[in-house]
Structure 1
Amino acid sequence: MLNRTILIGRLTKDPELRYTPAGVAVTQFTLAVDRPFQNARQEKETDFIPIVTWRQLAENCANYLRKGRLAAAEGRLQVRSYDNSEGRKVYVTEVIADNVRFLESASGGQNLERQDPDYKPQTDLSDDDLPF
């Protein structure tokens, strides 16, 4: 059996970072993903897919992703349910991502790596350093 999904889209708002009672980081955000076709009115339609990340990936997403940024999320599709306050069963479909790629740099033209305090640019490359 296989349950794997890969999505590329734009964040609809900044990620929301929370911590479980056990101290585990969890982040939720929504990707707006355009459909590859147009509807009968010749308009593109968009799906809004909820994404959930855990632990270090959750903290990285909260620190570096922002509303409007292009990102790729890879993970598994999960459907869960709960009973709401009115006693009705509510179904939630979301992607539990184990890999998120930041596809755009931060605002102001800076690279995302430059926001990392441990980032050290490597500028003294020679042809011998290249893997090809």
Structure 2
Amino acid sequence: MAINTITASGNLGKDCEQRWTPNGKAVASFSLPVKQGYGEHEKVSWVICKMFGPKAEKLPPHLTKGTKVTVTGEFVMEEWTSQNGEKKSAPVIIVDQLDFGGNSGNQAGSQQPARQPQQSQQRQPVQQNEPPQDWDDPIPF
């Protein structure tokens, strides 16, 4: 049996969008940047995150452009055919858990109210020429 769990963290690229399925189920979607490489070889790709049901009904007002979140969920490749017949696909995370600002104490579905980010608290991009080389830390497992 394979385990299909992915965790991603970043600042939303745009405000969360909410829609409803024909049977009345809420769907909230937003995008997060995923970086690979470093320095001049750094590349940023965007992954779509989707939530369904009661959580998707309540979160959109709190998920605005620039909000820092960490999501954990199932990784899938969504495939569809465009109006001109072209086959397309995109990486998607079906979100099971969402934390605001990297703070695990404020999870989606918890009793604590989500807070709106302040403009001054938005994370600025960090320039790194090479990855950290801290080999002396103990392995966490």
Task: State the secondary structure of the residue aligned to 2:38.
Answer: strand
Note the 1:24-35 alignment, pairs <5 A.
Answer: 24-35=25-36
1:58 deviation in Å? 1.2
Q: Contact (CA 8 Å) 2:7, 2:70: kept in 1 or not?
A: yes
Q: Which has the higher strand share?
A: 1
CA RMSD of aligned residues (A): 2.0
Change (3 A) 1:89 1:108: closer
Distance 2:37 2:28 in 1: 28
Structure 2 unpaired stretches of 5+: 103-114, 120-141
Give the aligned residue type for 1:11.
Answer: L
Task: State the secondary structure of the residue aligned to 1:17.
Answer: strand
Distance 1:78 1:108 in 2: 32
Q: How many residue pairs get matched?
A: 106
Q: Which has the higher helix share?
A: 1
Larger CA deviation: 60-69 vs 1-10:
60-69
Note the 1:53-132 alignment, pairs <5 A.
Answer: 53-103=51-101, 105-108=115-118
Structure 2 match to 1:9: 10
Change (3 A) 1:35 1:60: farther
Structure 2 match to 1:18: 19
Q: Contact (CA 8 Å) 2:49, 2:93: kept in 1 or not?
A: yes
Distance 1:8 1:96 in 2: 14
Q: State, as a whole percentage, how many aligned pairs show the same letter.
A: 25
